[in-house]
Amino acid sequence: MTRKLFGTDGVRGRANQFPMTAEMALKLGAAAGRYFRRDGSPDHRVVIGKDTRLSGYMLENALTAGLTSTGMNVLLLGPVPTPAVGYLTKSMRADLGVMISASHNPHQDNGIKFFGPDGFKLSDEAEIEIERMVEGEIRLAQAENIGRAKRIDDAQGRYQEFIKTTFPSGLRLDGLKVVIDCANGAAYKAAPEVLWELGADVIPLGVSPNGKNINDRCGSTHPEAAARAVFEQGADVGICLDGDADRVIILDQYGRVADGDQLMALLAARWADDGRLKGGALVATVMSNLGLERHMQSRGLRLERTSVGDRYVVERMREGGFNLGGEQSGHIVMTDYATTGDGLLAGLQFLAEMARSGQPADELVNQFETVPQLLKNVRFGAGSKPLEVGSVKSVIAEAEARLNGKGRLLIRKSGTEPLIRVMAECEDEVMLTEVVDGIVAAVQAVAV
């Protein structure tokens, strides 16, 4: 079955347009509820979290209606990070977890992600089955078996207490001045409070959500404001989260950006030294820099690559028994602690290394020399398939021939937005620019 609703990270789109309508959210809720009530037994429960988008209210109510209509009891968490939903699904013995968020996208977008009872995101097979049920007739519960809904007032506090247990018990953050940019998103309360409780001098940004300012010139995709604050306030480090706090970008004391590759390199090295890195490998996607791969090899470690998407990273980690993985964009997955990427958790691990080693941020985030990498996105129109056009295929083939033995080319369709992502790596930066710009121009010519 070809998937029409689910992408690489749940269902996502513009609010009040297909598939992000109240009607579709109700159907998805009913289908997911029926899927997890196949045994017909009573007392099934689901937790629902959301970020701070205005459309979250609409989708939360619609999902609740759909889920309760099939007999699921709904526990409403309110605004919490995506990893909190994964944690609380398992902690509260729920059959299903739901996060309403479009992650780093602007407020006009929203999404629905599902977690299984183990706290991990649903498999492709489960999502396909739920989508099949959406298209069919969903059997509703008898009137006496309709589910209830209850708001959980201390969901954020439960997550905060859990996340502090991941920080080494013998360490504190006293003396560290930390800028934390919460992107006006789901961690706007939790992240500053956790850092303060651990002893940091906290400078919070992006902590005044109004439903429309999530990821708006702030957070991990727009770290400029945090970089200025680090420099102007004389902070030791900056931590930038995205709207649902499942990814992180680190800023050194000069406001310079370090991506997920550098953070993964640091953690992999430290964990290997401590005998904690399972399988002697780090799992990352095809987007991670070639320099990271070379760095791992120089230390006698491996880099296992997957398709783009943290779900595929987690799948490979579980298959191979690995415990560290992530994406260049800042999804860092540590299965010793969490079932999905957790930006605050990853940020705390970096701060713990600062506290333990006494090294400044700029030394810790420069783990390897990056190979010049260029990524450009091209938006395409509905119904357009630019990568299937002959002229585009021809330009791509020529680019691959030029880079053969000199670099790497990756072209893919985004799983969450109508974008073609063109990425290349090459030591020759002139060739790198020519190759990427040539492909971008070819795609733009037909992306209508």
- As a whole number of angstroms, the distance between CA 11 and CA 134 comes to 13
Return the active site residues.
103
- As a whole number of angstroms, the distance between CA 183 and CA 245 comes to 9
Q: How much is the pLDDT for 415?
A: 72
The CATH number of domain 159-252, selected from 3.30.43.10, 3.40.120.10, 3.40.50.300, 1.10.10.10: 3.40.120.10
Residue 41 has pLDDT above 70, yes or no: no
The length of the chain, given as a count of residues: 448
* 199, 177 contact by CB (below 8 A): no
Same fold, 260-342 and 373-446: no
Query: What is the CATH number assigned to the segment(s) 260-342?
Result: 3.40.120.10
* CB neighbour burial string for 155-181, b if at least 16 within 10 angstroms, e if fewer: bbebbbebbeebbeeebebeebbbbbb
| pTM strictly above 0.95 | no
355 pLDDT band (50/70/90 cuts)? very high
User: Span 282-289, mean pLDDT?
Assistant: 95
Residue 376 has pLDDT above 90, yes or no: yes
Q: How much is the pLDDT for 42?
A: 67
What are the residue ranges spanned by the domains of the chain? 6-153, 159-252, 260-342, 373-446
Token pair recorded at residue 177: 């001045």
Check whether domain 6-153 has CATH 3.40.190.10, yes or no: no
Tell me the per-residue pLDDT of 239-273, one tens digit each, with 9 for 90 and over: 999 999 999 999 999 999 999 999 999 999 999 99
Residue 1 has pLDDT above 60, yes or no: no
Tell me the per-residue pLDDT of 123-147, one tens digit each, with 9 for 90 and over: 889 999 999 999 999 999 999 999 9
Q: How much is the pLDDT for 40?
A: 58
Residue 420 has pLDDT above 90, yes or no: yes
Q: Name the CATH topology of 373-446.
A: TATA-Binding Protein (3.30.310)
For the chain, the average pLDDT equals 95
